[in-house]
Structure 1
Amino acid sequence: MNTLLAVIVIFGALVFIHEWGHLIVAKRAGILCREFAIGFGPKLFSFDRNETTYTIRLLPLGGYVRMAGEDPELVQIRPGYEVGLEWNSDDKVSKIIVNNKSKHPECRVLQVEEIDMEDKLFIRGYNEDGELESHTLDSKAVYIHDEKATQIAPLDRQFRSKTVGQRAAAIFAGPAMNFVLAVVVLIFYAAVAGLPVDEARVGGIQEDMPAEEAGLETGDQITAVNGEQVESWQDMTEIIQTQAGEELDLEVLREEETFSVSLTAEERQLTEEESVGVIGVLAPTERTLTGALAFGFTETYQYATLILEALGMLVTGQFSLDALAGPVGIYNYTGEVAAMGFLVLFQWAAILSVNLGIINLLPLPALDGGRLLFIGLEAVRGKPIDPQKEGMVHFIGFALLMLLVIAVTWNDINRIFM
């Protein structure tokens, strides 16, 4: 149950912040965002706010922001259709009822001769008396089909009408927010857990270990090991690690009092052929705002570098697909990490966030990187790629991506349960 809760919270946060990046930048560019969805498949919960429907869907495999103009409108009103019209206080058409007009007795029926819901925003047709009349559409008018209202999208509110820079920014904002989230999470981690300090000082004592049995306490300064002066944590640990199973004499400074302690370093096996000596002391830490800020940025950079190196090895064949983890594998790893504690789970969330950002920026169809690639090609060519051809490429790419997810998930199942 704890694993399921951790997965829901972490993945919910990662998807939410990613899609929120798309949403905020798209709205600032003036794009009408029809839906902000977490998950795919059947709708579980929804509410409307500021022109956008916010939904939670059944399958927790990602999310999306549906922007006007990315796909053809589902309802097309053609000449000859009979529609019902309602007006607002500005004498502009605010509602176009496509069917079920009987449920809107206050509407005025018009047989459409011509309608433009994108550019000139007007409708012209014949009323019930056979007279031809023309009306202006409100820029936020809605058409109602099967009692479902959908706001019209004038050309200046559509994704495809925006500049290359605006569209690229709206697409890039999603992955960018994942990097921002990782930085924020790691700053919080460093502020709570503290950062290691390279001093020969006891930062904590592990239970049932030689240091506890010898009476060492948190804050003790180790000045010498076996008569050899030490000034840093690295100096101290290098000596102790080479003395597995051996007796050690430590000179300790505690509140301006110096005394000696004798203990035996416990042997800890690292591999079948390698072992090190440990005494059960933890490194000292410090909590500073500047240190936490620096840690957030540097660790995010380190994670990104490692992930990119791993992807490079995958492309060159140094890694096989068997090394990849899918949803089942990540669920299993998250459970293991959750058992290690809250702070370790925070680090894991940061790693996943960086990974999501990088994967989405890969120049592959159906991913944000693939969409950015098409926008870049448009900038070079000076004209957009045929939307139908681009849509087909993304559709095929999405299908192949789903096949990859299925294959990796099967590997996860074999690795974990068989």
Structure 2
Amino acid sequence: MNTVIAFVLIFGALVFFHELGHLVLANRAGILCREFAIGFGPKILSFKRNETVYTIRLLPIGGFVKMAGEDPEVIEVKPGHNVGLLFNKEGKVEKIILNNKEKYPNARIVEVENVDLEHNMFISGYEHGEEDFIKRFDVSETSYFVVDGQEIQLAPYNRQFQSKKVGQRIAAIAAGPLMNFILAFVILVVLGFIQGAPVDDPRLGQLTADGAAKEAGLQENDVIQTIEGQSTSSWGEVVEIIRENPEKELTFEVERAGQILSYEVVPKSAKLGEETIGQIGAYNPVDKSFVSSFKYGFVETYTWAKEILIGFGKLITGQFSIEMLSGPVGIYDMTDQVAQSGTLNLLRWAALLSINLGIVNLLPLPALDGGRLLFLFIEALRGKPIDRQKEGIVHFIGFSLLMLLMLVVTWNDIQRLFL
């Protein structure tokens, strides 16, 4: 149960902050965001705040922000349609009822002759009982379609994704992956505050109870001056000397409280792959200052991002196979293993997953943020957008292939774990 809770919290946080990036930048650009969803499939929970419906859905494989105009609008009113109209206090249409009009006795029934719900915001037509002349009705920019009792807000062109400048659209799409990197950075900075950020000083950090350093009388924060007469100026030099001398007595000269003290230490042997190395049971020194923690968060985020990109490069060149990828099942299993090693390791794992999610979404593949950004960059270069219908087909095919890949990866995870 603890693993389930940890997985749900981590997954929810990663998707929440990713989609929050999209939502915030889209709202800032004036784009109508109809839905903010965590997960796909049937709705489990939903509520509305301002213009946006917030939902949690059944399948934990991602999330989305539904921006008006990013995809073609589903609902259309055309000449010849009969619609019911409800009006606000200013006399403008605030609700357009498309079916079940008998449930709205106060609605004025109109047979549409002409309509523009994007630019000029009006409907004109013949009102029921007055078919001799056409009436024009102004439509509010905050009006709603009513379909099967559900209200769906209209999106005037100035509230649609496509109406915004290319830079604004790029920012709204790129903000999702960027938030994942920011989240990972913040988590790692917090870990730096809690655990301390490693520093390269020749100073002993925490000592293990059964280590050679503790047995010899060394103490945490002892500054190592020399080992076997060889001066040391960094933790890397200390580690190198100890590793090269397993089971050999070494003379340590350390500074403690302004005094120089000498100790005989015998590093214990340990296996590192095929190599035998020496260890004294001492962790590297750490610094819990703000500057060190901030630097640690940046360096760790950069290092993990680079390693993940190298991994994707090896996948493309065939050095990694698709069988080595993990989907939700594999991530759940890894979360279970990490959760057993403690909360701090679980936080580190969340940061790694957040970086991975950010990078995956930036890949220039259809249906991912990177694919949408690619189309936007092409639009910026050529000075005009690519046909939306063609782009939609590309994204649909890409999404279908992505779901197929998810099924394959999930099946591989199940085989590794249960078969």
Tell me, yes or no, whether TM beats 0.5: yes
Give runs of aligned pairs for residues 107-122 of structure 1, distance below 5 A.
Answer: 107-122=107-122
Give runs of aligned pairs for residues 4-403 of structure 1, distance below 5 A.
Answer: 4-131=4-131, 132-271=134-273, 273-403=274-404
| Amino acid corresponding to residue 356 of structure 2 in structure 1 | N
> The residue matched to 1:204 in structure 2 has which SS?
coil
> The residue matched to 1:79 in structure 2 has which SS?
coil
Q: CA deviation at 1:163?
A: 2.0
Identity rate, percent: 54
Distance 1:222 1:376, change over 3 A: closer
Q: CA deviation at 1:345?
A: 2.3
When structure 1 is superposed on structure 2, of 12-21 and 341-350 the one drifting more is 341-350
Q: CA deviation at 1:416?
A: 3.1
CA distance in 2 between counterparts of 1:260 and 1:317 reads 54
Q: CA deviation at 1:346?
A: 2.3
Q: Which runs of 5+ in 1 are unaligned?
A: none
| Amino acid corresponding to residue 170 of structure 1 in structure 2 | A
CA distance in 1 between counterparts of 2:377 and 2:103 reads 48
CA distance in 2 between counterparts of 1:327 and 1:183 reads 23
CA distance in 2 between counterparts of 1:303 and 1:261 reads 38
When structure 1 is superposed on structure 2, of 341-350 and 44-53 the one drifting more is 341-350
Give a deviation string over 1:60-99, Cα, whole Å, max 9, x none.
1000111111233333333333322221121111111222
| Amino acid corresponding to residue 169 of structure 1 in structure 2 | A
Q: CA deviation at 1:183?
A: 1.8
CA distance in 2 between counterparts of 1:258 and 1:340 reads 38
Q: CA deviation at 1:102?
A: 3.1
Instruction: State TM-score, norm by structure 1.
Output: 0.93
CA distance in 2 between counterparts of 1:85 and 1:175 reads 42
When structure 1 is superposed on structure 2, of 29-38 and 243-252 the one drifting more is 243-252
Distance 1:252 1:383, change over 3 A: closer
When structure 1 is superposed on structure 2, of 31-40 and 3-12 the one drifting more is 3-12
CA distance in 2 between counterparts of 1:54 and 1:164 reads 27
| Amino acid corresponding to residue 225 of structure 1 in structure 2 | I
Q: Which runs of 5+ in 2 are unaligned?
A: none
When structure 1 is superposed on structure 2, of 395-404 and 340-349 the one drifting more is 340-349
Q: CA deviation at 1:202?
A: 2.1
> The residue matched to 2:183 in structure 1 has which SS?
helix
CA distance in 2 between counterparts of 1:96 and 1:225 reads 83
CA distance in 1 between counterparts of 2:180 and 2:250 reads 48
- Paired residue for 2:412? 411
CA distance in 2 between counterparts of 1:145 and 1:55 reads 19
CA distance in 2 between counterparts of 1:413 and 1:247 reads 50
| Amino acid corresponding to residue 359 of structure 1 in structure 2 | V
CA distance in 1 between counterparts of 2:403 and 2:280 reads 50
> The residue matched to 1:200 in structure 2 has which SS?
coil
> The residue matched to 1:282 in structure 2 has which SS?
coil
Distance 1:260 1:382, change over 3 A: closer
> The residue matched to 1:118 in structure 2 has which SS?
coil
| Amino acid corresponding to residue 16 of structure 1 in structure 2 | F
Give a deviation string over 1:93-141, Cα, whole Å, max 9, x none.
1111222233323322223222221121111222232243221000111
User: How many residue pairs were aligned?
Assistant: 417
CA distance in 2 between counterparts of 1:192 and 1:22 reads 31
| Amino acid corresponding to residue 103 of structure 2 in structure 1 | K
> The residue matched to 1:179 in structure 2 has which SS?
helix
Distance 1:198 1:382, change over 3 A: closer
> The residue matched to 1:58 in structure 2 has which SS?
strand
When structure 1 is superposed on structure 2, of 247-256 and 274-283 the one drifting more is 247-256
Distance 1:387 1:242, change over 3 A: same
When structure 1 is superposed on structure 2, of 278-287 and 49-58 the one drifting more is 278-287
| Amino acid corresponding to residue 27 of structure 2 in structure 1 | K
Q: CA deviation at 1:228?
A: 4.0
CA distance in 1 between counterparts of 2:318 and 2:143 reads 55
| Amino acid corresponding to residue 311 of structure 1 in structure 2 | F
When structure 1 is superposed on structure 2, of 369-378 and 142-151 the one drifting more is 369-378
Q: Aligned-residue CA RMSD in angstroms?
A: 2.0
CA distance in 2 between counterparts of 1:372 and 1:258 reads 61
Q: CA deviation at 1:257?
A: 4.2
Give a deviation string over 1:25-55, Cα, whole Å, max 9, x none.
1111111111111000000111111211111
Q: CA deviation at 1:263?
A: 4.2
CA distance in 1 between counterparts of 2:283 and 2:105 reads 77
Q: CA deviation at 1:291?
A: 1.9
| Amino acid corresponding to residue 374 of structure 1 in structure 2 | F
